[in-house]
Structure formats: structure tokens, C-alpha cells
Structure 1
Amino acid sequence: MISEEQLQELRDQIAKDEGVVATLRMKRFVGAGAEYAAAKGRIELATDALADLTAQYDAEQAALADRPNREKAEAKFLDGAARALGKADDRITAALDAAQAALVELVDAVQARSTLVQETHSQMAARGFQLRDGDGMPAHQTGTEQRLDGPVVSLRGRRWTPLQPLPLLDWLKHRVMAARMPGTEPGWCGTCRNVEGRDDSITDRVKDAPAVPRPEPVRVRTGVLPGAIAYISDVAHYERKIEEEELQRMSELFTDENGQVRSRSVPPTDEQRAAAAHRKKLLHDGIKAGTIVARH
């Protein structure tokens, strides 16, 4: 919105240049023609800008003064929006409560398992199942090892090592984000060195999170409220901007003959072309109605 300070700044600039013009005209300095012309040009430009901004300022102030009436007229919509937003907040709160309870259970389960691995390691070592450094442990053997990253317990081919909650939580976070908000996570999504790659990996048994399609890019569109005035500098430029927003080529994922997931571009759909044509029509209808002012 235009502020009174902006208008006053232009008025001060005009007054300053008018003072320069008056001084040069009175003293008639030889060779001051270029400076005189420059000051006159600045006055003309600033005067035009002041007139435009004043008109926009007056329209904005009128719209603000009419805001109570607009809120009264749109009370049903505003009340509905407030209720919908409140329910959205309630849903998030409930989801956070549930997630917090699940995370508490996960942390407790991981810590209990790690304690059990340590205890089992000690008990097996006391029963003669400990292997000396360098002996190694064939996959089918039963025994224990002590490594730099913690104790290892092997029971008839299955291995256990202590786990840490944070790497598991990080893995889970990236996994869910990749499924529910595709495109927001890097390609390695969910790789966790402290979890994956271990003989006792549990993550392979976790069910996949329900996935959603990759969303279309967010498009910022300029809308004009009824009774408001929007200013654009160039109609042709604005039409090109509409085409760029509506007809931009999209991409889709597909699986090639080697089983690799790749991306390919997709041409604009008939719906996208229709949306572009509709927005252009709204643009020209707004110009005719006076709610959109084109400044060339």
C-alpha cells in the first residue's frame, strides 16, 4: 500500500527542484541550461508519479474505509474460514499428541533393546561364546564380539547391535517426507548409516508410508478483489506472465526399461490452456471495468 510518507517524499523532491529552477531563472547563470533542463525534467517526472500515487493512495484509503462494510457483507465466508482454520489447527494438535506418544514408545523400545543386547552380550561372553579379536564370526555362528561401535551378538546367523533413537527418528522423518511431500527431500532420502547396512537392520521390515503424487509447482497468481484497483505496467508483459504461469511444462516420473525411476516433461494440457485464456479474459474485463489500470 502507498503511504503518506511516500507522497510527502515526492512533494519534497518537487519543491526542491522547483527551488533550483527558480534560482537559475532569476540569476540566469551562463551555461546553466543543462542543469535547468534536468531540474525541469525531474519536476515533470515527479509530478506525474505523484499524481499516479495519489490516485492509488486515495483508492486504497477508500477501500480501507469500506473494510467494515465488506467484512459485514462477507461475514458468512469469514466465519466459515475461521472455523475451517480452527479445525485445521485442532487436527495438527491431535496429530502432534499422537506422534509424541509414538515417539516416546519408539525411544523407550530402542533403549530397552540396546540394554538387552548389552546384557545378552555379557551373559553369552560369561558362558564362553566370546570371540577373540581377529577371530571373526561366520554368518552361521553363535558368539559375541566387542567392536568400537558397540557389542555384537550373533545367534545362529542373526546379529544384533545397540541402536540409537536419533538416527532412527531422522530416517523415519526423511522417509515420511519423501512419501507425503515428494520433491522436498534429497535423492538419498532416509539413508541412515547407524541403521541401514547393519546385519541386524530393522528398517527393511517397516511398511512403506502411503505415498502421494508429486504436487504441481506452486504458482503465485495476482487476483483483484471486487472494487479494488490493481496497477500493471504493461498489458503484453502481463499476458506473457500468465502464459508462463499456466502453460509451463510439467514433469512426470516413469520407470525405464532398466527399472530406474526417471523424469520427463509433459506438454500443457487443454485445462491449462483454458485457464490461461480465462485469466487473459479477466485481465481485459478488469481493464474495461476500471479495476485494472495499465500504465504504458
Structure 2
Amino acid sequence: MITQEDIARVALELEQAEDTVTKLRLKRYITSAAGASYAAAKGRIELVRGELERLNVQYEAEQQALADRPDVEKAAAKEIGAAKKELEASHDALATAASTAQQALLDLYGAAEAHNALIARHSAALTVRGLAVEEGRDHQTGGGRDGLRIRGVWWVPVQSVALLTWVTDQVAAVCWPRGTGMRSATGRHALERRSDGLLGKVAKLPAPAPAEPRPKRAKALGAPVYFRNRHEAEEAASSELRDWGRDVPANVRASVERRLRQLEEDIASGQVILRSS
């Protein structure tokens, strides 16, 4: 909208141009440079007068529209009321859909973790029976630190968080073929700054349950896990941190710390053997 300050600024510009023309007219002798300044000021006066006239007309029209606005809004009361009702219903439906999608992702994460736990349990069970996959040997069946093999088929754990990211990226690829949308890290922060309370209507997830301890490998039948060095062993124990980057949830960090403590116990008991210190 046009303000009085806008009009005053252009009026001052017009006054300065007219003052320049008046001063040059009073000079007895005018140099070529002064003549050029005079012509420029004259041309500027015409332009600024037109701009000032346009601003005044637009200002008056806008002020009249403001004065008429209550009557216009009153006349559109029925349409405004219908819009409000439809938007509120749509807003609630959107929050419900977000809650459903959120729960679906949580179910997906749970299924991935259950699958990983199953792999770990069967791997440990085969190892207990003396069926460990030994490095350098092509055993068709057996348990190992990277998963287990059953009749030539490897079953390896899935990175749960990476799977969630993959699923959302598949949706993004369909909805935004050019690769924008959910892949933008700034999109999340923009959502959290919304003032309409949308995220407040999305169902709150329960607090994360403490991670279940992984099945321990059997000591009795001598099936140790080998690592080249301590660094490799610690990298394997803390691999989940790589899925999160800098923003690691407290429960994930606690789970990794437990695995690192377990690693120390396994090294001390001989379940984990470091080829070099």
C-alpha cells in the first residue's frame, strides 16, 4: 500500500528538481554543463510530477477501499463462514493423515528392528551349536557377526533409520519428481515454525522403550568374533550413529553406549578377538 511517506519522498524529489531549474534560470551566463543539468532537471520534473500524481490517485483509492472494507466483509459473511468451516475440517483431516503416516513409519521401524532381532537370535543359536561362519571359509550355513547364512542364502540386518529415509524418499520421488520436497532439511524447521498449530494436532508418539539387549554369543563352543583392531570393533558397535549425523536421539546414544560396554566385556572374556591392538 502507498503511504504518506512515499508521497512525501516523491514530492521532495520534485521540489529539488524545480529548485535546480529556478537557480539555473537566474544565472546570467550558463555553461554547457549547466545547460545539460538544466535540461535533465526539466525532464526529471515531468517524470516526477507524473509519479506524484499516480501515487496520490492510488493512495486515495486504497484509503477508500479500507473505509469500505467492513461493508465488503459483511456482504461476504456467508462465504467467509463456509470457508472457515471447510478449512477447519481440512486442517483436522490433514493432522489425522499425518498421525496415520507417523504411526505407519513407527510400525515400519518396529518391523525392521524385530527382523534384526530375529536374525541375531538365530545367528546366536547356530553359533551355540558350533555352526559359526568362519572367516575365509565358504560355509553354506552358520551364524556370523554380519548376520547368518542358511543353505547358501545370507540374512543380514537392515538399518532401520535408513529404511525410513528410503521410504520417505520414494514418496518424495513420486510427489516431487525433480527431487525437492521432503528431501529438504529446511522443510522440517519451516513446519515446526507454523503458527496454525497443525503439528500440535498430530498424535504424540509414546516415549521410546529401552532397547532390548542383543542375544549374547555362546562362549562354550568357542565361536569368537574377530576384528582387525579395536577401532573396527568400536565402529561396528556404534554403526547406528552414522544414520543420524549430529542429531542423535538420547535413546540411540544410550543403546550405542551399552553396546560399547558389552564390547569391552566380550573382549575381556575372549568372545571378541582383536587381531592387533
Q: TM-score range by the shorter chain?
A: 0.5 to 0.7
Q: What's the secondary structure of 2:132's corresponding residue?
A: coil
Distance 1:20 1:50 in 2: 18
1:177/1:184 contact within 8 Å kept? no
Residues 29 and 9 of structure 1, relative CA distance in 2, 3 Å threshold: farther
Q: What one-letter code is carried by the residue in structure 1 that aligns with 2:12?
A: D
Higher relative contact order (CA 8 A, sep 6+): 2
> Counterpart of 1:135 in 2: which secondary structure?
coil
CA distance in structure 2 between the aligned counterparts of 1:57 and 1:164, rounded to whole angstroms = 62
| RMSD after superposition | 2.1
- Counting only pairs closer than 5 Å after superposition, residues 40-189 of structure 1 correspond to structure 2 as 40-137=42-139, 141-146=140-145, 151-179=146-174, 181=175, 183-185=177-179
Moved over 6 A (4+): none
Percent identity of equivalent pairs: 38
SS at match of 1:66: helix
Asked if 2 retains the 8 angstrom alpha-carbon contact of 1:110 and 1:163, the reply is yes
Q: Distance in 2 between matches of 1:107 and 1:52?
A: 63
Cα displacement (A) at 1:4? 2.4
Q: Secondary structure at the match of 1:133?
A: coil
Aligned residue for 1:30? 30
Confirm or deny: 8 A CA contact 1:107 1:165 kept in the other structure: yes
TM-score of the two chains, using structure 2 as the length reference: 0.59
> What is the aligned residue count?
179
* Secondary structure, counterpart of 2:136 in structure 1: coil
Larger relative helix fraction: 2
1:6-34 deviation per Cα after TM superposition (whole angstroms, max 9, x unaligned) = 22211110011112112212234421211
Q: Is 120-129 or 33-42 further displaced after alignment?
A: 120-129
Distance in 2, Cα, partners of 1:29 & 1:89: 75
| Whole-angstrom CA distance in 1 between matches of 2:48 and 2:80 | 41
Q: Which SS does the other structure have where 2:149 is aligned? A: strand
Instruction: Give the 3-state SS of the residue equivalent to 1:134 in structure 2.
Output: coil
In the alignment, what sits opposite 2:215? none
TM-score (norm 1): 0.55
Matches of 2:91 and 2:74, distance apart in 1: 25
Which structure is larger by alpha-carbon Rg, 1 or 2?
Answer: 2
Shift in alpha-carbon separation, 1:21–1:177, aligned structure 2, 3 A:
same
The runs of 5 or more residues in structure 2 that have no matched partner are 184-277
CA distance change for structure 1 residues 109 and 182 in 2, over 3 Å: closer, same or farther? same
State the distance in 2 between where 1:135 and 1:118 align: 21
Instruction: Give the Cα separation in 2 of the matches to 1:29 and 1:135.
Output: 106
Residue aligned with 2:143, SS: strand
1:42 Cα deviation from its structure 2 partner: 0.7
Which amino acid is 2:97 matched to? A
Task: Compare the two structures and name the one with the higher strand fraction.
Answer: 1
Long gaps (5+) in structure 1: 190-296
In 1, Cα distance between the equivalents of 2:179 and 2:3? 42
What is the CA distance between 1:119 and its match in structure 2? 2.5
